[in-house]
Amino acid sequence: MKILVVGSGGREHALAWKLAQSERVQTVYVAPGNGGTALDTRLVNVEITDPAALADFVVAEHVALTLVGPEAPLAAGIVNLFRSRGLKIFGPTREAAQLESSKDFAKAFMQRHGIPTAKYQSFSDAAQAHAYVDANGAPIVIKADGLAAGKGVVVAMTLEEAHAAVDHMLSDNAFGDAGARIVIEEFLAGEEASFIVMCDGKNVLPMATSQDHKRLKDADQGPNTGGMGAYSPAPIVTPAMHARVMREIINPTIQGMAKDGIQFTGFLYAGLMIDSEGNPRTLEFNCRMGDPETQPIMSRLKSDYVTVLEHACNGTLDAVELEWDRRTAVGVVMAASGYPDNPRKGDVIDGIPAETAECITFHAGTTLADGVLKTNGGRVLCVVGLGDSVKMAQKQAYDVVDQIRFDGAQFRRDIGWRGMK
Ligand code: AMP
Ligand code: GLY
C-alpha cells in the first residue's frame, strides 16, 4: 500500500522512515519532505503543500492512508477536508486541534474539566494585562493565544520582562492575530516531560515517554527553541506517574472534549511540568507528535506502525499493544548558525555516516540540490543514538555528531542529562 506523510521536518523524516520499514508498504510519500527524505530510496518527496491538491494526489495515486506531522495544516482543517472526501487520515479535526491552536481555548477547557494546569487569565486589553502582571508579580508567563511557531511564550523572570512581553504581543502586534489575545499564567517550577498518546476517538494508546530540551545551550541556558534534543524513555515518568497522568490529564481531556461535542482523534501531546512533590500539571497541549521527541520515540518502536495507524483510523486502537526497544534513545539536534532567531541557509553538510543499529541521522532543515546536501532551516539534523543506558546512547549519538560538519553548527553536549541523575 501507499502512505502519505505531510510535513518537512525531522519528525516527518522519522515517521516516514518507520513506516517504510513495514513489509506492507510499497511507497511512502513525504510532502514536501527534505534533503533526507530525498536521499532515502524508500521515500518519495512530493512538491505539494496545499491540502486540496494533496487530497487530489491521494485520490490519483491510490494512497491508502495519510499521516499529518505539523500543527498548521491540522489547525487549517486538513483532516476535515480529507474526511469530507472519504479519505483516510490520522489527525485531529480543526475543532479538536483548538487544544493546540488556541491557548485560551485550552486553558478554559482545562479549567472547565478540572485538568491540573497553571492558574491564568486571558487578555486582549494591554492596560488590564499590565495591571494583572503588577498584581501577581514575577516570575510569570506570557503566551500568545494562537500558533506562533514556538515563539509565542515568554517566561518572564522580572516584572520588566513581563511588561515588555505584554507590549510586544498586544501593543506592537508582534504575532498578528495569533497574539491579539494573550494568556498570562502562573510560573510553574519543576521538571518537564512530554506525554504523547494516540487517540482513535474512543481508545487511547500511549507512546513511549520522552523529554525535550528547550533551551539552546548546555545546562538549560540561552533562549528557548523548538527543541535541541530529546530522549526516550524519560525516567521521571515512573509507572505510578504514568498511571496518574492518564487518570488526571489524558482521559479527562478525551472525555471532556467528547462532552463538549468534539471527538478527539490524532496524537495528543501533553507538555507536563512535574513539581518537586511529584504533582503533574499541563503546560500545554499539542495535537501532533513532538519534534524532536518523535525521532528517539520512533527509533525505539518495534511494532509495525502501518498496522497501528490503520487501527487508529478504524477506531480499533484497543487491539494494539506497542512493542518498544528496551534501550534508551538520545536524539541530538544539530542547528544552523543563527538559530533560533535568524538561521542561515545554504551551508554545505558533510560527513553523515550510514545508519547503523545504534545510530540514525534524521534530517529536518536540509535540502538536496544537484547531489549536494545543504542547510535549509533552523534545526538541520537530529542524530539518534541507542544504548543500554542514557550514557551509552549519548556516546553513540555524539560519536556521529562529531563526524558531521557544516559551518556554524550549534548543538548541545548534554542531551539526556536529567536522565542520568
Ligand atoms: P508551551 O509552548 O506553552 O509549552 O511553552 C514553551 C515552554 O515554556 C515550556 O516548554 C516551558 O519550558 C515554558 N513554560 C510554559 N508555561 C510555563 C509555566 N506556566 N511555568 C514555567 N514554564 C513554562
Ligand atoms: N518539542 C516540542 C514540540 O514539539 O512542541
**290 ligand 2 Cβ < 6 A:** yes
- Confidence grade of residue 148 (pLDDT, cut at 50, 70, 90): confident
In terms of Cβ atoms closer than 10 Å to its own Cβ (0-12, 13-18, 19+), residue 61 is: middle
Residue 40 lies in a domain: yes
Residues 196 and 146 in one domain: no
Q: Give me the CATH number covering residue 380.
A: 3.90.600.10
**Ligand 2 pocket mutation pick from 231, 286, 298 by most atoms within 8 angstroms of CB:** 286
In terms of Cβ atoms closer than 10 Å to its own Cβ (0-12, 13-18, 19+), residue 113 is: middle
Nearest Cα residue to atom 8 of ligand 1: 153
87-140 confidence digits (pLDDT tens): 999 999 999 999 999 999 999 999 999 999 999 999 999 999 999 999 999 999
Percent of all residues in the chain with a pLDDT value above 70, rounded to a whole number: 99
Residue 270 lies in a domain: yes
Handedness of CA 66, 309, 293, 372 (dihedral sign): negative
Where among 285, 319, 353 does a domain terminate? 319
Residue 101 lies in a domain: no
Residues 49 and 167 in one domain: no
Direct distance between the N- and C-terminal alpha carbons of the chain, in angstroms, rounded to an integer: 45
Structural contact between residues 19 and 5, judged by C-beta atoms closer than 8 angstroms = yes
Residues 280 and 332 in one domain: no
Residues 76 and 37 in one domain: yes
Nearest Cα residue to atom 13 of ligand 1: 155
Task: Please state at what angle helix 251-259 crosses helix 103-112, rounded to 10 degrees.
Answer: 100
Structural contact between residues 274 and 242, judged by C-beta atoms closer than 8 angstroms = no
- pLDDT for 151 equals 75
- Confidence grade of residue 189 (pLDDT, cut at 50, 70, 90): very high
Whether residue 170 is predicted with pLDDT greater than 70 in this model: the reply is yes
Whether residue 314 is predicted with pLDDT greater than 90 in this model: the reply is yes
- Confidence grade of residue 150 (pLDDT, cut at 50, 70, 90): low
**Residue 159 lies in domain:** 125-180
Residues 197 and 305 in one domain: yes
From the list 126, 134, 128, 138, the residue with the least C-alpha distance to 172 is 126
Report the distance separating Cα 252 and Cα 175, nearest Å: 31
- The predicted model gives 204-212 an average pLDDT of 98
Residues 348 and 399 in one domain: yes
In this structure, which ligand is nearest to the CA of 190? 1
- pLDDT for 177 equals 76
Q: Give me the CATH number covering residue 143.
A: 3.30.1490.20
Residue 131 lies in a domain: yes
Residue 349 lies in a domain: yes
Residue 117 lies in a domain: no
**100 ligand 2 Cβ < 6 A:** no
- The predicted model gives 138-145 an average pLDDT of 92
Count of structural domains within the chain: 4
Whether residue 143 is predicted with pLDDT greater than 70 in this model: the reply is yes
Whether residue 149 is predicted with pLDDT greater than 80 in this model: the reply is no
Alpha helices in 225-378 (DSSP H): 239-245, 251-259, 294-300, 305-314
Residues 266 and 347 in one domain: no
Residues 168 and 208 in one domain: no
Residues 32 and 150 in one domain: no
Residues 261 and 332 in one domain: no
Lowest mean pLDDT among 55-64, 142-151, 357-366, 382-391: 142-151
Residue 271 CA, closest ligand 1 atom number: 4
- Confidence grade of residue 155 (pLDDT, cut at 50, 70, 90): very high
Report the distance separating Cα 266 and Cα 69, nearest Å: 10
Where among 294, 319, 344 does a domain terminate? 319
Residue 112 lies in a domain: no
Where among 180, 215, 247 does a domain terminate? 180
Q: Give me the CATH number covering residue 46.
A: 3.40.50.20
- pLDDT for 179 equals 66
Report the distance separating Cα 1 and Cα 23, nearest Å: 10
- pLDDT for 120 equals 95
Residues 199 and 308 in one domain: yes
